[in-house]
Amino acid sequence: MQPFDFVREHEVSTAVKAGSRDGAKFIAGGTNLVDLMKCDVEHPTHVVDINAVPLSKVEQVPGGVRIGALVRMSDLAVHPLIVKNFPAISQSLLVSASPQIRNMASIGGNLMQRTRCPYFRELTWTPCNKRNPGSGCSAIEGENRLHAILGTSDACIATHPSDLAVAVAALDGVLTLRGPKGERQVNATDFHLLPGNTPHIEHDLKHGEMITSLFIPDGPHAKRSSYLKIRDRASFEFALTAAAVGLDLDGSLIRSARVAFGGVGTKPWRAKFAEAALGGQRATPDVFRAAAEAEMKSAVAHRQNAYKIELMKRTLVRALSDLAGGVA
Ligand SMILES: Cc1cc2nc3c(=O)[nH]c(=O)nc-3n(C[C@H](O)[C@H](O)[C@H](O)COP(=O)(O)OP(=O)(O)OC[C@H]3O[C@@H](n4cnc5c(N)ncnc54)[C@H](O)[C@@H]3O)c2cc1C
Ligand code: SF4
């Protein structure tokens, strides 16, 4: 591990100043950053601890809920406001990682976590465009059973690992960012970027900017929402496929739907084609299946991950069937 200095900041303004130095990185729970520092994928020269910055509130605000970036995953998962009005958010957290990690890990850090592609995390292995731009992608012809089928490029096929980010994308979350040039808001669906030719550029966060909060609008889609995750084992495992769904129903008629996929996309995948296929239809398994087919038309499989296409379709049908719960 490369030597680094460490400061603890207590205010957003001083944290941003410290985080703007060349080679600086924020640390919150440290469950991702420290891992990556140990395997030398991340090598900050300044580590800025933001845990004392007062960003740990969950507040009901006009039109929704505002969640401080330093709220812990475990606290948010069981917060009464979230459980009642934003069940997909709560459920996505409860199926993430382990209780110990959720106790440490923050909401901001969760949205910023980096891919679990094994080639990315192991320096002695083969090329990786995300870790070492221009070196190539070992996964495309290599071990790719867990890799993405939506939003891939010739440069990278790594999945985005966060469960929470998928629920946030489905429910129209908005991030507030604070940097040296002031504050700005970014829709969660625009925050994470497709890999294209630059897979090392993963989000719309400039150096020195920090996530200060996350806003989720309330409304029918948020209230009737859920998160379904399919994985190799029942706990402490990343998604093979996942669906965050929200429905605005009038009896069995779907007024409109919100859908996002996890485990299959290079970014949290807002499923606009599926949403379009659901709107104005009756909530039936055939309609759900047609919506899944519509979204997965653009899926591109590699040697070991074609199974994800059918699995993702079934995941969506099951998530929607459970959520609609016998209204058809
Ligand atoms: C064994 C294991 C299993 C896991 N399983 C899952 C899983 O199933 N689902 C899932 O979603 N996640 C899973 N995770 C990932 C875990 O949820 C993340 O490591 C955690 O959420 C990161 O949060 P943190 O606060 O610890 O971030 P840190 O490690 O402190 O930071 C991570 C990154 O975010 C940046 N950062 C942190 N806070 C901010 C901020 N406010 N503004 C800007 N940048 C910031 C840091 O600079 C760093 O680059 C797993 C992790 C492990 C180790
Ligand atoms: S899929 Fe992406 S992260 Fe994995 S080896 Fe290829 S470039 Fe690297």
CATH of the domain at 34: 3.30.43.10
Residues 6+ apart with CB under 8 A from 196: 153, 155
Distance in angstroms (rounded) separating the CA atoms of residues 37 and 18: 19
pLDDT in tens, 149-165: 999 999 999 999 999 99
Instruction: Scan for tokens 């997965």, then name that residue.
Output: 296
The reply to whether 278 falls in a domain is: yes
CATH of the domain at 283: 3.30.390.50
pLDDT-derived band at 238, boundaries 50, 70, 90:
very high
The reply to whether 183 falls in a domain is: no
Structural domain including 44 reads: 5-52
Residues with CB under 6 A from ligand 2: 115, 117, 119-120, 128-130, 137-139, 156-158, 199
For a ligand 2 pocket test, name from 41, 119, 267 the mutation site with the most ligand atoms within 8 angstroms of its C-beta.
119
Question: Is this model's pTM higher than 0.85 or not?
Answer: yes
Atom 36, ligand 1: residue with shortest CA distance: 109
The reply to whether 61 falls in a domain is: no
Q: Does the pLDDT of residue 172 top 70, yes or no?
A: yes
Split into its structural domains, the chain has a count of 2
Distance in angstroms (rounded) separating the CA atoms of residues 251 and 105: 39
Nearest-atom number in ligand 2 for the CA of 155 is 7
- Return the H-helix or E-strand segment holding 58: strand 58-61
Side-chain half-sphere exposure of 103, counting CA atoms within 13 A: 3
- Report the separation in Å between the CA atom of 281 and the middle of ligand 2, taken as the mean of its atom positions: 39
Distance in angstroms (rounded) separating the CA atoms of residues 125 and 121: 9
Give pLDDT, residue 123.
76
8 A C-beta contact, residue 167 and residue 88: yes
pLDDT in tens, 14-49: 999 999 999 999 999 999 999 999 999 999 999 999
DSSP of 175-196: EEEEETTEEEEEEHHHHB---T
For a ligand 2 pocket test, name from 130, 152, 202 the mutation site with the most ligand atoms within 8 angstroms of its C-beta.
130
The reply to whether 90 falls in a domain is: no
